[in-house]
Chain A
Amino acid sequence: MRTRLGRAQGRACGGWTLGAVKRSAALGLALAAGLVGQAHAEELAADQAAERAVEQLRTYSLEDLTNLRVTTVSKRAEPLIQAPAAIYVITADDIRRSGATSLPEALRLAPNLEVARINAYSYAITARGMNSAESANKLLVLVNGRSVYEPIGSGVLWQQVDVVLSNIDRIEVVSGPGGTLWGANAVNGVINVITKSAKDTDGLRVDGGAGDRQRNLALTYGGVLGGSNYRLSLQTFERDGLDKAPGDPTDDSFRGWQGSARLGGGSPSLGYTLVANAYDNRVGNDGGNLWGGDVMGRVFKTLSGGSRIDAQAYVASDDRSARDTHERRDTFNVQAQMASTFGAHEVVWGGEYRLWREYFLSTNAFHFADPRATISLGSLFAQDEWALRPDLKATIGLKLEENSYSGLDWLPNLRLAWAPSPDSLLWAAASRAVRTPNRIERELQADGFLAPSPDFQSETLWAYEAGARVQLSTRASLSVSGFYNVYNDLRIDAFTNGGLPIVLRNGGEGESWGVEAWGTFDVTPWWRLKAGLNTLRKDFRVKAGETDLARLQIAGMDPKYQAQLRSQMELGPSADLDLALRRVGEVTSAGVVGPVTPAYTEADARIGWRVRPDLELSLAGFNLLNDHHLEIDDHTTAPLRTIPRSVYIGLRWGF
């Protein structure tokens, strides 16, 4: 059953994973203010961070000051994050040093994410469990505020998310529901990809390379137009198919191009950004074509009292065709929010509206009665950050969400942050999040075998979390967080009255809990170590009186632990050496004897040489420890692939 449905869903969707991310979120500025989702006046935010910083910096010697990373492209160095959430920031420099050439590979840097590569183009990525191509449906992924989830199956099609990696300013990875200001479906986590503003990238830049498994080239050019800054980018890539079993005729090779233009300008009190993207990717020789584009505009204005208004709108069109399916999706989205301060209260409130016009045609047994559907969602939210005392802040938030499938949902959120000293922060949070039904769950049918499920409701989560962040010394910092998730109404496949057709029901429930920890340690001024760890335990079950024909496939396939260690060394003034070691525990599945995926250890290494101040050459090796290894075995949706060892020579010019 599981295989049939899985394959059905896979075939219905062209054999690729599907993602659901429902709501565009607040802008990355939110985190600069130090509290998740809080969009303050940029100056106000910088001032607050700067105030706390000068206090801490009093104890620094002059030498310490010369060693302190302010990282030009990140809004803050790790020790000074104030958010009451488990948030990890991947900086542009981290990405460069890791040698990653695609967004999913860059996400491996976050110790609070599970990243499993399925094949050359496809990944299963989640936070806090429930991973797999089918069940990774609880992640909100945003690129510059545009949500890139896919309303058919509630997942993220990573092969349809093109970003020029060298344009990324930072990636904020929040594990857990994150907070009121993030969108619907921010259930297990939020990934917020923020690209550099046009004024930070001027002149011509080239970022490219070639290796035995991939070739990439990205060109960007930035300049000034009137009083604004612009940036034009063009990138192309090619990935060879990964290792497969002999006799397997499928081709997972992947290539594509993307072009984008960005225009931005303004002052600290009034500004705008305009972004346009277009992309065209191909899988295999005839495996499918993904193409589309989007246009996004954003404005902000600070008012005389210090309040700030942010508004954003985008229009996107994505087309995906494979052997027996064709999907076309048009997305319209507007959102706005206002942030103000009233005494000890920092209040943010706003709303969002999104409309999808979907067209999905399938020529196999699994189809929708009507290829066309219009799906909408709207939300209103408000959040108050109340400074109870100078060192104690409470955040109370509520979001009301309405979507055309399941009506109204209430999403409350409560967070507490206590700073016992300038160097430490303790926080705790309780929140409710929902994963709303998607098109497949509601409408997919195969005559006689699978019926549509109009009564399928949202899956719900109550998340309880707590954490601590400490600057142990001028050289070391540590962040630890723990969570206890209570899920309800999880999806199961059930018979109707004991026989076919199958319908989907909300018959599952369960709990998961775990710990996430990461830290940095500056062994010497030129050698920094970063370590990360996450653990996960799950207890999922079918509710009384229910049976799941898919055997709790929704619970996903997750390792009990993941650990990583990175070493960043500066070898003299012009060379970097980066080493990364990661260990992922085995993945077991209910009903299967032995591990579905064995535990593995892998290592990457990269050496970069700055030949001239504006020219860097690099040599990298990936997955060095094994000839090849398996990361996830989900052959119901895609043929099995193992990830091979590979090498890569890179070049960056103009940076």
Chain B
Amino acid sequence: MSARPLVGGFSELWRTSTTRLILGYGALFAAWSIMLIGAISWETARYLESVVDRILVQRVHFLAAVERDRLPDLLAASTALDLRGVLSFGLFDADSRYVLGDIDRLPADLPVDGEVHPLPRGVARLSGQRGSRTRGVALRRAGDNLVIVLVRDYGAVDRVGTIIRGSLVWALSLTVIPGVLGGFLLARGPLRRVRGIEAAIEPIMRGNLRARLPLSPRHDELDMLADIVNRMLDQLERLLGEVKGVSDNIAHDLRTPLTRLRAQLYRLQRERPEGEQATLLIERCLGETDALLDRFRALLRISELEDLHRRAGFRQVDLTEILRRVHELYAPLAEDKSMEFSLQATAVPTVNADADLLFEAVTNLVSNAIKFTPEGGRVVLRTRTDASGVRIDVLDNGPGIAPEEREAVLQRFYRAQRGENRPGFGLGLSIVAAIVKLHGFRLEIGANEPTGTRITIYCSALPA
């Protein structure tokens, strides 16, 4: 089972593909918008500049054409209209000497050609005003050779660009921010379904191959994926069933000839006088055949238990009574091995179980413990309640099971390296594992202090 919590926080949301898609798309959108805003504001500024340029040119040409004595008034009037003082003028005689206006020196970098030119160094004005970006035009009058200089601060034009940029950035933020937030919210929907799928997979991982992933009526990508997984599980279940079927069939098919073999050996043994050498040999053969049959019976029993899904035999069961009966059954055997076999059964709440199967499971555990603990050893059978609920412990001070072997001994065909010469090790535990699984209980193999094995059945049903 994974230790990963089902409910992740922000970091889990962050990792989803939908979130990444939204963020990537948002970034692209923002970059493109910035380029667009740049282009728009640049275009606007250029257009406004050309318009202002044309006005300047028209005005200077008009001023160049009027009579000399009307000139001062017209110049004054044109600047008087200009409230913010962006437009300044200067009038110079033929020798470039100052005659009139806010500009008292002819700008050196301004060609007198009636065209608008940028003045990167600005222009000194009598009023002391200084623009951020100035452009100017100069034109010599045809009659009196006076030079008219008109200079304009283009800051206002640039400000239009700033305003446009600003409003576009606002619009962008108002689009992107709710978009991203909305995306996050949208991403949570599929995430919730992924969690649903994870929850549905839990029982499958625990070995219930009959479970399937949930499908929604939407038939979206997640459903397509879940459907693929479900079909894979169908196939897997079928294949596992076949494998199991094959091993069951082998066990079943071999049992019939073995039973006949046993019957013939038995007949032979009965026909011979007792105590003779050949009779003893036949008796040994009979014993071996019985051991073989026992193993096949156990194999088939495991497979029967694995197939058993009925809960009809389930009722509230008193564990102390079951343990008492197991103790009663095995106490003489333990005594014969000079072992101390104690029962520690405190009163525990009843558990929902099949009493016969539980008896069989505990019997197997005790039988194993007695079998693998050397003479004079100690075996404890006990039940008690702890934080995880009711539990049954079988403790011994035998050789113990190595940690790396603990999982494997629950498998059908496993035999521990130690104890190779002792019979029936693996199958008994597999039967226990099958019974525990059928109940939804949990089996744990641990170490007993200072030596030996502790096998625990936790009798609280796992969430289905």
Q: Do A and B bind each other?
A: no
| Interface residue ranges, A against B (CB under 8 Å) | none
What residues make up the interface of B, taking CB atoms closer than 8 Å to A? Answer: none
